[in-house]
A and B are shown apart, each in its own frame.
Chain A
């Protein structure tokens, strides 16, 4: 069973990396990019039957720093 964890910066938290990517896109001539926020994608290969609560605990204890980051869990079907 696989799950994906998306870790993103909370709204309002300064994202210097996103800003740099934004500037680079503008430098390449891409117009109309209003904002860029960078995050992380973590793929987990889990034992079948791993409970949602366990994955959430993994996120809270290590994968995300909830002071500055949000996380979203996506279970992959048939994976």
Chain B
């Protein structure tokens, strides 16, 4: 699998994501700068990393979503290329219109940085094939703006269409209906606040994250 990680000014989990992708695919991902206008030929997975792109100016992810490379990412997503946005990457995906809703300031106003319990809501997706439905997993979060909000029609639709991939199994940030990760309509774009790339080997205190990448590799290959 030929992967690419988009790097924005202020991204800080790009390397972690690259390490996870290399571990699973055996190939280093292409690190693509935000000012580039094209993805490497034949890219078949795009990762948008966590961090604080553009210092979270205006709104988290707002500036990054309008950067030159995002036109290529939107085009690739439209062609069915899998796109994973983690944390700030999720915020960028909503700001770019690839995913519905918005990520607002945590309800408790605090930055939340700890491992949290998640429930796998749908295991029939290319990103969650490594899990079982209803399974509880532990993946860390580290965010200030992770409070997912959308109007109730959108939330009903996300739930009805199986587009809620992960839900918090505990109170974390006030997200509507406990939503931690959602898919686009075609199922090839996933945005999630928790960081699967931070739990890929035993020394991290768990390996629940690596299964996302392994499942994806199997689904795509």
Interface code B143-178, partner A: CB below 8 Å = 1, 0 otherwise?
000010110000000000000000000000010000
Tally of contact residues, A, Cβ under 8 A: 11
From residue 38 to 84 of chain B, which have CB atoms closer than 8 A to chain A? Answer: 58-59, 62, 66
Residues of the A chain whose Cβ atoms lie less than 8 Å from the Cβ of B147: 14, 16
**Which of A26-34, A49-57, A63-71 lies at the interface?**
A63-71
Given contact pairs A14-B147, A16-B107, A62-B62, A68 touches B102 in the complex (Cβ within 8 A):
yes
Task: Find out whether the CB atom of A65 lies under 8 angstroms from the CB atom of B101.
Answer: no
User: CA–CA, A65 to B94, complex, Å?
Assistant: 10
Chain B residues proximal to chain A, CB less than 8 Å: 58-59, 62, 66, 94-95, 100-102, 104-109, 147, 149-150, 174
From residue 59 to 79 of chain A, which have CB atoms closer than 8 A to chain B? Answer: 61-63, 65, 67-68
- Chain B residue at minimal CB-CB distance from A20: B109
From residue 1 to 37 of chain A, which have CB atoms closer than 8 A to chain B? Answer: 13-14, 16-17, 20
Residues of the B chain whose Cβ atoms lie less than 8 Å from the Cβ of A14: 104, 107, 147, 149, 174
* Contact for B109 among A13, A16, A65, A67, CB less than 8 A: A16
Main secondary structure of the interface of B (DSSP, over half): loop
Query: Would you list 24 pairs from A and B whose C-beta atoms are within 8 A, ordered by A residue?
Result: A13-B104, A13-B149, A14-B104, A14-B107, A14-B149, A16-B104, A16-B105, A16-B107, A16-B108, A16-B147, A16-B174, A17-B109, A20-B109, A61-B66, A62-B58, A62-B62, A63-B58, A65-B62, A65-B95, A67-B100, A67-B102, A67-B150, A68-B104, A68-B149
Candidate in B59, B149, B150, B174 with the most chain A CB atoms within 10 angstroms = B59
* Contact for A65 among B59, B106, B108, CB less than 8 A: B59
- Chain A residue at minimal CB-CB distance from B59: A65
A22 → B minimal CB distance (Å): 12
B116 → A minimal CB distance (Å): 19
Q: List 15 other contacts, CB 8 Å, given A62-B66, A67-B94, A68-B104.
A: A13-B104, A14-B104, A14-B147, A14-B174, A16-B105, A16-B106, A16-B107, A16-B108, A17-B109, A20-B109, A61-B66, A63-B58, A65-B95, A65-B102, A67-B100
